[in-house]
A and B are shown apart, each in its own frame.
Chain A
Amino acid sequence: MTEFAPFIVAGIATGAIYGLAAAGLVLTYKTSGIFNFAHGAVAAAAAYIFYELHGVHHVPWGLAAAVSVLVFGPLLGLVLELIARRVAGVDSATQVVATIGILLVITGVSTARYGVITIDFPQFLPHGTFEVADVFVGYDQLITVLVSVTAVAGLFAFFRWSRLGLQMRAVVDNPELLDLAGSRPASVRRAAWVIGCCFAALSGILLAPYLGLDATLLTLLVVDAFGAAAVGRFNNIPLTFGAGIGIGVVARLITKFVPHNQSLAGLPSSLPFLVLFFVLVLSRSGTFPTRLQHRRAYRTLVIPIAVKRVLVVVAAVTVVFLPAIVGAKLPVYTNAAIYVTIFVSLALLVRTSGQLSLCQLTFVAIGATTFSHLTVGAGLPWGIALVLAGLAVVPVGAIVSLPAIRLSGLYLALATFGFGILVERLAFNFGVMFGRGGQRSAARPDFIGIHGARGMFYVCAVVAALSILAAVVINRSKLGRLLRGLADAPVALAVNGADAKITRVIIFCISAFMAGIAGALFLALVGTASGAASGATFSTMSSITLLTVLAIAGRSLVAAPIIAAIAYVIVPSYITNAHLSSYLQIAFGGSALAIACLGGSSGTVLSKLTSSSAWRVARSPVTARLQLRSEVGS
């Protein structure tokens, strides 16, 4: 027993912090209905403030902690409440994009200021240890647990017995009634956001000494709290806290059994996401709280058919002569063509059926590694390997779509997020992917006159054009109508005989296929990919950035993927700046957030700015859901 004790003690300490963060997250979600993907980023930001004050300017740690938790936390909470109120009326896909935008802005600012390296964070709590029944416990660990337990118990008591707590519970059930009864739902929500962000800030400065200060790492580690929140059904605060401790302990115990430098080294850190994904996949529908979906009209630019034809011809001619125009920059344009396919695969999910995928680059990564095994490993012809690489990702898409069968938009987004990080932390380390010094390589196409950089470009451009064409055909076909029906009125599909589960799985499979092909092309373009480099390219952080870029690029299935690829790949290649990636994160995140706050569509924003009559009112499909029971009847 004693050999496990240190792991259990350390697990309880970190688990308590996850539990603390998760409790804050559940509080804001319960009261506002907005799931804050930026919760971890709030924690990271607070830790940076603490570091700036205490580590750089030598302010006493007590004062620094007070400023970050009791001043900065609440201030950020107030800002977030304003944003939450702005996006309360948009569909939940746009809400997810909005909080992801906040996340990107905060991490972008942090990395621009402090760089991407991990800074040693001062352990400000007492260092000594004491012994209880032959087990050494650090004072820092004891204090961490006591602070977390006190905060969560205080929150629970407050929720249970105070007047404001009662109002918070009421605002969950019926904000209109609360309004009529004389309490303002807005001020109740504001209090919830302030408390929730204080909890996040506290968890950030408690966690940072153990991990060091790294914006992305800290953001995602607090996101570990999502697993605990899922166990607590995004609803039950004590259960959430308990789950946080449980996950912390089990994760630490695994580190005892799985030594470092092994392919399973990522298991402890991916445990929360394993929990998140499987809780979501295995839960019955109706387990989690869902809210009424909002529909909001948005505006699209009406382009006459003749103009569209001219544009297509111009685009085709441009593509043909592009290699001659751009010269040495050609690989950038080839990469952009690949990203067009990736954005189309994403737009197929988001725009036709309102389903969110936060792990699109995971599909891409799996396609890339499979392609490498098929060409370099098995020696298959290039073209056949390309198609097979796409097909290999199809079952993965089907697995990821499992939560989509029974859960509403937000929980699908969470499950894809969990899946992405799970694969990134766990499977990327496997020898078959990029792990153990593994390096995946692939050749460029070389057949019937297609070879070299130009041949590569034309192949990628043709694939991009075919994927756009496929998306347009799907959107106009029976499947497209079924998907739109699925998003707007799933019950209507069911009462007419369609099995909506199948529709969802099909579109995920098609999307995964496209992403897999794009992955194969990507590997062929870059030649070789090793662990560290591909970790960044295919990371979940990059996946969620793609989603914000697509949100900025608009709702068209044709124009949006092209605009998104230009913004994500081509424009940055002409800018030289040491902090470029940070600034891009801020720009993409900030724009997506602004668009979400201004009505949820770039078309709506542009039409307001130009006040032109060319913008036609349309309706977005609401985020897909299959909560049949609560929606029908009176």
Chain B
Amino acid sequence: MIEVGGLVIDGLTVKYGGNVAVSDVSFAAPVGRITGLIGPNGAGKTTTFNACSGLLQPSTGRVLLDGEDVTRLPVHRRAQRGLGRTFQRMQLCESLSVRDNVSLGRESATAGSRPWSHVWDGRGERHAAIAATDEALRLCGIAELADSPVVSLSTGQRRLVELARAVAGGGRILLLDEPSSGLDHGETERFGDTLRFLVRERGSGILLVEHDMSLVMRVCEHIYVLDFGTLLFDGTPAEVTDSVAVRQAYLGSAA
């Protein structure tokens, strides 16, 4: 196994009862690059994500973060080590405004496991939190929505709030689960730019599960293709486009 900064999955197998959802999958999402994870519905993408962030315990296999085995760590410990994520089924706080939702990303990170930090932050951290929230709102293009209640937003806008929360949280590796579904064309363009900005300016690593192929092909440097829980193919966008196996997985064997 190569030592890389970022996320490495090694021989991951996840079972739901007797059903094998993900079987012996290995891949790497290093920092400083956008990695794509694609595959038809039910291929095991979200399951893989859940195993990475600790919401699911794999049957076998390891999850490595910056070379360290985090397979047995609870969700919040992995997040404290720099693993952030968004959800396909969004997890927003409905009773708060957009700004409060985004700042929860930063505040959860600083609260961590220290009781006192749940209750109180020093002046410096409070200012830093406001700055981080403002920047995340701006990067994700939702600064003008900051004071709206989350309840009033469209699906696409809610996705951006989720992204902004993960960005404000400051994770070095971001797992994004179908972040562009519900976005219009302009928003998707902007979204792609935001991802590249994060990689370029912050040195983040991004693992992107996405159905919008043009977005995936445009922003990802390397793409892994999952099908029926196994790794079918991996390569650059051009290689993936040319692959017969990938086309068959997506369009059926008749193609």
Contacts and interface: CB of A to CB of B under 8 A. Distances in A.
Given A478-B121, A481-B100, A492 B92 contact: yes
Interface in B59-85: 74-76, 79-80, 83-85
B93 A488 contact: yes
A478 B55 contact: no
A478 to B, nearest CB: 5
Contacts of A634: 46, 88-89
Nearest to B93: A488
Specify the main secondary structure of chain A where it touches its partner.
helix
Given A297-B151, A628-B75, A489 B115 contact: no
B180 interface: no
B107 interface: yes
Contact of B75 (A494, A505, A617): A494
Interface size class of A (residues with CB under 8 A): 35 or more
A499 B111 CA distance: 8
Contacts of A503: 111, 118
Nearest to B120: A478
A394 interface: no
B34 interface: no
Contacts of A621: 93-95
A155 to B, nearest CB: 28
Contacts of A495: 53, 75-76, 79, 83-85
Contacts of A487: 93, 95
B47 interface: yes
Nearest to A499: B113
Given A496-B79, A497-B79, A633-B50, A479 B151 contact: no
Interface in B135-171: 149, 151, 165-166, 169, 171
Interface string A490-513: 011111111110110110000000
Contacts of B191: none
Contact of A497 (B50, B108, B120): B108
Contacts of A484: 93, 95-96, 100
B109 interface: yes
B151 A617 contact: yes
A570 B191 CA distance: 58
B224 interface: no
B113 A502 contact: yes
A492 B93 contact: yes
10 contacts: A481-B96, A482-B118, A485-B104, A488-B96, A493-B104, A496-B79, A497-B112, A503-B118, A619-B95, A632-B89
Interface of B: 46-47, 49-50, 53, 55-56, 74-76, 79-80, 83-85, 87-89, 91-96, 100, 103-105, 107-109, 111-115, 118-121, 149, 151, 165-166, 169, 171
Question: What 7 A-B pairs come out closest when comparing CB atoms?
Answer: A498-B108, A496-B108, A497-B79, A489-B91, A492-B91, A494-B75, A488-B93
